[in-house]
Amino acid sequence: MFEFFLIFLNVVMPVFAIVLLGALLGKKLQLEARTLTRVAYYIFVPAYVFQAISTAEVPLASALKMISFILLVHLAAVLIAAGLGRYLGRSREMIAAFIMIAAFGNVGNFGLAAIQFHLGDAALPFATIYYVTISTAGFAFCVGAAGWAHGGRWGALWKVLKTPAVWATVPAMIVSGSEWPVPLMLSRMVSLLAGGMIPVMLFALGLQLQEQGKVHLSKDVLIGSTLRLGLVPALALLLAPWFALGRLEISAGVLQAAMPGAILVAIIAKENNIVPDFATSVVIVSTLASLVTLTLLMLLL
């Protein structure tokens, strides 16, 4: 019990406290989440991804195993979520929302910070690889599910290629796998920007949650939150031994899989009219519940 309290106090709460600051101060300071999230999305995130991957000594074979591992986990989660929705007789929109929740956790601001505090800086390159992979795949699943719910096609998936984090990954991996030096001026600039990503994104998450509105509790919200916080990390723990990954690689992957619903899920749901109240409620409920679930999971890792 004492160890649980220490992890909760020293690992989870510092992360959540910044989110809480954003939620409490955003309205009073008349801040808009959109401004911060756009700056983070287009500037801080690519800098962080480049910094983390380009300076990491992660062999290509290991990176490919991690990518395959986390993709398989989320593909299995999506299929189970879709099957559960059909079994329960839910509408196409609700099934699509189940898929979106299962596919996309808050692996950026929330996940990276929690992993850094719990596993240390050595785990950040692994957490970043998972972050880029889950974000890219999650966005693809969300857009695809939204299109399916309305009888549309998957044509909007080309937007995935426009994700700034993906832009930064390719040159970062080239630098990491070669002896090409990064100019000192550019290296220092990227380092400064990268250092601001996590606090900016955490604060922006608080602003976003505050702007989302009220929570509507229901049986489906509890099911969606359980899919996100229970099913996906369970699949990660189950499938990890298949890939012969190291302890830090497995721990970072399982924790990223256990993150609460991404705020982007609620945004995509609103833009596509995919039961937006449900999606928003799951994001908020899973974020609050993750204070306990993540702490318990960290006791095991």
Q: Is the pLDDT of residue 174 over 80?
A: no
3 state DSSP class of 105: strand
| Per-residue pLDDT band at 97 (split at 50, 70, 90) | very high
Helices in 60-157 by DSSP H: which ranges?
60-87, 92-103, 109-119, 124-149
CATH of the domain at 184: 1.20.1530.20
| Per-residue pLDDT band at 160 (split at 50, 70, 90) | low
By C-alpha distance, which of 25, 41, 48 is closest to 267? 41
Chain mean pLDDT for the chain: 85
Q: Which residue has the tokens 């998450």?
A: 205
Alpha-carbon span 19 to 100, nearest angstrom: 22
**What pLDDT sits at residue 158?**
56
3 state DSSP class of 104: coil
Asked if residue 264 lies in contact with residue 33, where contact means CB atoms within 8 angstroms, the answer is no
Alpha-carbon span 96 to 39, nearest angstrom: 29
What's the whole-model pTM score?
Answer: 0.85
Rounded CA Rg of the chain: 18
- Residue 169 sits in which domain range? 2-300
Total domains present in the chain: 1
Distant-in-sequence, close-in-space partners of 46: CB < 8 Å, separation ≥ 6:
164, 165, 167, 168
> Phi and psi at residue 151, in whole multiples of 5°?
70, 20
| Per-residue pLDDT band at 81 (split at 50, 70, 90) | very high
Alpha-carbon span 97 to 114, nearest angstrom: 26
Model confidence pLDDT, tens digit, residues 116-128: 999 998 898 899 8
Q: Which residue has the tokens 């908020």?
A: 284
**What pLDDT sits at residue 163?**
66
By C-alpha distance, which of 246, 244, 230, 229 is closest to 287? 229
Cα torsion for 89, 237, 45, 264, to the nearest 10°? 10
| Per-residue pLDDT band at 99 (split at 50, 70, 90) | very high
Q: Is the pLDDT of residue 155 over 70?
A: no
